Structures are given as structure tokens and as C-alpha cells.
Amino acid sequence: MPLLACRRFVLGLAAGVAAAVVTVPVLAADPGQLIQSTATDAIDIIKKTTPGPARQAAIQRVLQTSFDLPYMGQTALGVNWNKATEAERARFLKAAESAEARAYSERFGQYGGQTLTVGKVTPRANGLFIVDSQLSQTSGQPVKLQWEVRDAGRGLRITDVKVEGVSMIMTRRSDFNSYIQSHGGMVEPLITELESRAAR
Amino acid sequence: MHFKVQAACATLLPRFWPGIPRACGGPGLALIIESVSKSMTAGVRRSVFAAAVAAALVGGCASGDTGAAEVWDPIETPNRFVFAINRTVDMIAVRPLAVMYRDGVPEPAQKSVRNLLDNLGEPVTAINEVFQGDPSRAATTMARFLVNSTLGLAGLFDVATMFGMQRTKTDAGQTIGMWAGKGVEPENGGFYLMLPLAGPSNARDATGLMVDYAIDPFQILPIALNVDWFYYSAPRYALNVVDYRSRTMFALDDLEKNSVDYYAALRSAYTQNRAELIRSKREKADTRSELERRDNLALVR
């Protein structure tokens, strides 16, 4: 084999391996591992940054890589998703994404020594995984967190978080639906409200 | 008019809200306590009746319940009105007090207050655990109560947990939810109800609140012994409110800040949280799991 071709082959192989290594955390085969790595990322961000635009941007990247945001947005809008135009859907997803990133970046002011212990992973018939976990705090009772993970063709992604039985998606769904109902059944006012909150 | 309001308070308040600071004032208090002590059996009978009514209501809306439906809230307008008043009172008085308590009172003192209040609540939990068909759990709770009331200096210190007896907390709302008919989802607690000062509830849990009040030895005893409301019930209630508010501060602030309709978000979160507590007590076959309910979301998407 000519030297040049051989080198190209080795380089190609190396690139392939590198690509595989890089994508492993995202395409984690194990839902428990996905939760663990996401939690590690989040704790890392909280440790290194203070609340502000930098932290929000970092959190937003985690949301984009570990969460199935379009799916979550669709579930949160419920029946109203069908009423919305393509443009409205895109705007809604964008606004909701930055609203969540902002909420998470402000939720934890400073790192308070919390650790996440991943427990049982339960697969369900419809391709869904339920991951149990516990958030231990330095003071007070541990918090029960349950994650919903599914693979919709883009690798495993988180689709919901339940804190002590309260699902983030279901709460948003009620919240958004009630807002839409009180604004003449239109999705537009909700998007405007979310956008103005993101700009604040 | 003033007299009328007072009379209404005298009949309603003692049963609904244990020891709520009664706005109707001093002279009526002795009367209230007297009337309650005299009508205790009648009160219990009435509570049982109310439980039956609530059970009928809970059972009445069981059919066609998919997880996609919103919480049943037929009296949303009055509920929102009460919620607005609650929020105002909270903003002016309760929240600032809870913040001062959280930040100003030393951590060990807060812990002792919590232990004391928890200890006073143990008998109610034990009675409910008996009715939930878990006498061994009830025995542990009573053992905890006895240990903490003596060795723990009237409940100020939670010695029982150090002895390996873990604390459990349950209420009559959960007992009713547990024994609701087969197929009645725990999310279905009858109509949603916003209680003045006490906050979110529903037909099931408000009934449970009344039952808990009627069976609580630490509400019956002071009445039987003629202890003035001012020296026992009022401080207990006030401490409960401040302690509870300081513990829910983080979650409620977060929910308020990140929702577009706080009332609806709280309604959903409350219902889900209560359902989770009840679901963990019910037979697996009795209800669909929360996830099975949510599989229906796909139908309305």
C-alpha cells in the first residue's frame, strides 16, 4: 500500500473514531447514562458561571443537545399545536426554549452541593424509558426526580422531567392552554408573551 | 350584617380550617369553642356525610377520563377570585413573615419548630394509616409519637428517626383517594377548590381536611379541656403557616415566575402532586399509571 493512501486511511480511521467518541454522549445507548452526563454538565455549568447571559447560553446548549425540544413543545401546546401555523410553531419553540434556559439559569443561584444519583431505568412498550433518580441536597430531604427519555431517530433525548410527581410538560400544558383559552383561543398572544419575557 | 357574618364564621370556620386566625374576632371565640365541643358527635356525623357527598362527586365524573383532560374546575371564577385574595394576603403578610423566619431564625430552631408541629400531626397520620390498611405503619408512627413526645422533649427533637423509625405523613384526603372506586384516577379529586388562606384543594382533599380536623386529638383535647384558642390553636396554626410557607417558597416562586397563568400552573401542579401520593398507595391494577394516561396525549395532539 502506498504510503500516502495508508496515511489517509489512518487519518480517516482516526477521524471516524474521534467522531464516534464525540457523539457517544449524545447518542448514549443507555438512558441512565444520558441523565448522568446531563446532570454532570448542568452541575459543571452552575459551578463555573454565575446567573447571567453566559450561563443561560450554556444551559441552552445542554437543552439543545440532550432534550427533544420540538417534541416537548408540541406536547406542551397540545391541541393548540394543530391550530398554529408553521411560522408560529417555530417562534413558539424558540421563545419557549429561551424561557426554559432562563428559568434553569436563575433557578440555581450558586452550586449548593447537590448530587444526582441515577436509579432504575424502566423501558416501556412505546419505546419510552423512565429513569428514576434522586437529587440529594446538603440540607433537607432528597428530591425525587423522574426523567422521560425516548429515541425519536436522533438518539436518546430527554422529553420530560418530573419533580415529586409534578411533570414539567403537563404543568406547562395546563398553563399554556389556560392562557390560550383566556385569549380567545389564539396561540399568537402566548408567543408574544413568551417572546417579551425572553427579551426582558 | 356584622352579626350575620360572625354567625356564619361560627358555624363554618371551626370545621373547615383548624385554628385559622378568625377575623370575626374575640367575643365570638368562646361561643365557637363551646358550640364545637357540644356538637362534636354531630360534627363527625356531618363530616362523614360530607365524605359521602364528596365520594359521590368524585365517582360521578370517572368516565371518559383521559390523561389529556384538564383538571375539572367548574367554579373557576370564584376560585380565581379567592386566589387573588390569597395572593394579596400572601404578598402583604405571609410571605414577608416567612422570609424573615427563613433568614432570621437559626436553622436548629426552625428544625425544632418543624419537629414539634410534625409530632402534633402524628396521631392523625397514624389513624389514617389504620384506615389505609397499614396497621404496622400506624404502629411505627405511634411509636415515633411516644418516643418523640418523651425522649424528644415534647417533640422538639426527632429522636425516633435516629432510632431508625422513619417519618411518614399522610392525610384523610389520601385515604379517600385510596379507597375511591376502581378506575377513579387519583388525578380525579372531584371539583377543584381554592380555599381561603389554605390554598389549592379539591372536593376530596377539602373533605379530608375536615375529617382530619375532626379526628385530631390535639384539636379535640384543647376543646375538651377548655384551653383558650388564643394560647394553643392560634399559635399552632400560625407556626404551621409560616413553616409551610417558608418551605414552599422556592417551588412557588419558581412556578409563579415561570408560568404565564399562575393559577392554572398551580392547579395542575397541585393535582399531579396529590395524585402521585395517592397512586403510591393504591393497588397497581386499580388505576392506570400516570404514563398510560399520558399515552392518550397522542390522540389529541
β-bridge partners, A167: A162
Residue B88 has pLDDT above 80, yes or no: yes
User: Which one of B115, B185, B261 makes the best mutation probe of the A interface by having the most chain A beta carbons within 10 Å?
Assistant: B261
Query: Does the beta-carbon distance from B265 to A103 stay under 8 Å?
Result: no
Residue B24, pLDDT score = 36
The CB-side HSE value for A70 (13 A sphere, CA atoms) comes to: 6
Helix axes B27-38, B40-60, angle to 10 degrees: 80
Work out the burial of residue A48: count CB atoms within 10 Å of its CB; fewer than 13 is exposed, 13-18 middle, 19 or more buried: exposed
Q: Is the dihedral of CA A22, A26, A29, A33 positive or negative?
A: positive
B295·A193 Cβ contact <8 A: no
Segment B68-83 mean pLDDT: 87
Mean pLDDT of all residues belonging to chain B: 77
Distance in angstroms (rounded) separating the CA atoms of residues A76 and A72 = 6
Distance CA B237, CA B138 (A): 24
Interface test with B, best of A121, A178, A193 (most B CBs within 10 A): A178
User: Of B255, B261, B273, which is closest to A164 when you measure between CB atoms?
Assistant: B273
Residue B158 in this model has a pLDDT that exceeds 80: yes
Q: How confident is the model at residue B85 (pLDDT cuts 50, 70, 90)?
A: very high
Residues B205, B173: contact at Cβ < 8 Å?
Answer: yes
Q: Residue B271 pLDDT more than 70?
A: yes
- Distances in Å between the Cα of B301 and the Cα atoms of A53, A83, B12, B69, B294 are 34, 10, 44, 12, 11
> A182 and B107: CB-CB below 8 Å?
no
What does each of the 200 residues of chain A score in pLDDT, given as a tens digit?
455 555 555 555 555 555 444 444 444 568 888 888 888 888 888 888 777 788 888 888 888 888 888 888 888 888 888 888 889 999 999 999 888 888 888 877 767 778 888 888 888 877 788 898 888 887 777 888 899 898 877 788 898 899 888 999 889 999 999 999 899 888 889 999 988 887 77
Q: Tell me the C-alpha distance between A186 and A182, whole Å.
A: 9
Query: B99-156, pLDDT tens digit by residue?
Result: 999 999 998 899 899 999 999 999 999 999 999 888 889 999 999 999 999 988 888 9
**pLDDT > 90? residue B53:** no
Interchain contact B289–A (C-beta under 8 A): no
**Of A67-76, B17-26, B53-62, where does mean pLDDT reach its minimum?**
B17-26
pLDDT for position B25: 35
Averaged over B243-252, what is the pLDDT? 89
Mean pLDDT of B211-217: 91
Decide if B258 touches A, using CB distance below 8 A. yes
Q: What's the pLDDT score for residue B147?
A: 92
- Which residue in chain A has the smallest CA separation from B265? A175
In angstroms and rounded to an integer, the radius of gyration of the C-alpha atoms of chain B is 20
Q: What is the pLDDT of residue B208?
A: 93
Distance from CA of A165 to the nearest CA of B (A): 5
Residue B203 banded pLDDT, cuts 50, 70, 90:
very high
C-alpha A34/C-alpha A56 separation (Å) is 21
pLDDT of residue B59: 45
Q: What is the number of CB-based contacts under 8 A between chain A and chain B?
A: 77
B292 in contact with A at a CB cutoff of 8 Å?
no
* Rounded Cα distance, B194 and B81, in Å: 9
Residue B27 has what pLDDT? 37
The pLDDT score that the predictor gives to residue B159 is: 86
Region B70-84 average pLDDT: 91
pLDDT band at B71 (very low <50, low <70, confident <90, very high): confident
Q: Which residue has the cell 422513619?
A: B166
- What pLDDT was estimated at residue B63? 41
Q: How far apart are CA B134 and CA B126, in angstroms?
A: 9
Confidence label for B6 from pLDDT (cuts 50, 70 and 90): very low
What integer pLDDT is reported at residue B90 of this predicted model?
Answer: 92
